[in-house]
Copies of this chain bind each other. A is one copy, B any other.
Amino acid sequence: MEQYNSEEEFLKNYDSSVFEKLSMTTDIIIFSVSNGNRTNYRKLKEKYFSVLLVKRNTYPYKEKWCLPGGFLNMDETLDEAATRILATETNLHNIYMEQLYTFSDLNRDPRMRIVSTSYMALVDKNRLNDKLYPNASWFNMIILEDEKGINIMFDNGIEEFNIVLEKHLIEKTSGRYDYVVVKNDHLAFDHALVLATGISRLKNKIEYTDIVFNMMPEYFSLGELQQVYEVILGKKLLDPAFRRIIADKVEKTDKIKTGGGHRPSALFRYKG
């Protein structure tokens, strides 16, 4: 039984090897919004929901794309690890980030048992266009989703591919889904799963929080803001309803954006 008389004595004699150990990693989904090309002098630039992927140059999954990530050091928390990795990839600090989910499938990494805690980060892509880590690339995503599954098409201007996941309702009271990867030839590890989880989280959260403003520049028009909501949610919104909802979250500035072949728009700022 217990042979120690104090916590100090116990700790001094504690053998930390009694339980098997494992390595942990952190994977970060960095979301942003990209501008497409102007197809017509009157039209707004199309916007795309995009994610930062890194091409692996070592085994395992050499030449596949993966989420930025890295091993957890013994002298840092998961938040600190995620912040460190994010800074490595983007050279940016003070980025919005939240913990997403911890994945622990036994064979999610072919090397050994690795548990990974994923994070979701939101950035304004314009802040870092030329500061990217060499192997990193922004992929625009087009996401088709229904009750049965999700199809995500990726395009970085050079490479195109898609992944397909099925959704299975695992629990009726919470409406939670289990994702099963049906097609994935280009993403390493279980990152298709991680990404689907992140997309789901973001879609939910932009409905009841203001986190979308982390992907916006300081000044933006309401039309641009609406475009961002629309590409993330994957559906069109009605102008007056949208404006009513965000009216108390933004403040009008005296700046104006002209140059489109149409009425100029007032620029707004997040009120906080």
What is A's interface to B at a CB cutoff of 8 Å?
2, 4, 7, 10-11, 14, 16, 19-24, 57-62, 71-79, 96, 98-99, 101-102, 104-106, 110-113, 115, 117, 171-176, 205, 209-214, 270, 272
Contact = CB atoms under 8 A, between A and B. Distances in A.
Nearest to A117: B102
A75 B112 CA distance: 12
A79 to B, nearest CB: 7
A211 B173 contact: yes
Interface of A is mostly: loop
Please state the number of chain copies in the assembly. Answer: 2
Contacts of A75: 106
Given A60-B7, A113-B74, A98 B174 contact: yes
Contact of A7 (B62, B79, B211): B62
A10 B79 contact: no
B7 A110 contact: yes
Contact of A209 (B101, B173, B270): B173
Given A2-B59, A74-B22, A104-B78, A173 B11 contact: no
Contact of A99 (B10, B102, B214): B102
**Most B Cβ at <10 Å: residue of A20, A110, A176:** A20
A111 B14 contact: yes
Contacts of A20: 23, 73-74
Contacts of A210: 172-175
A19 B23 contact: yes
A112 to B, nearest CB: 4
A195 B20 CA distance: 27
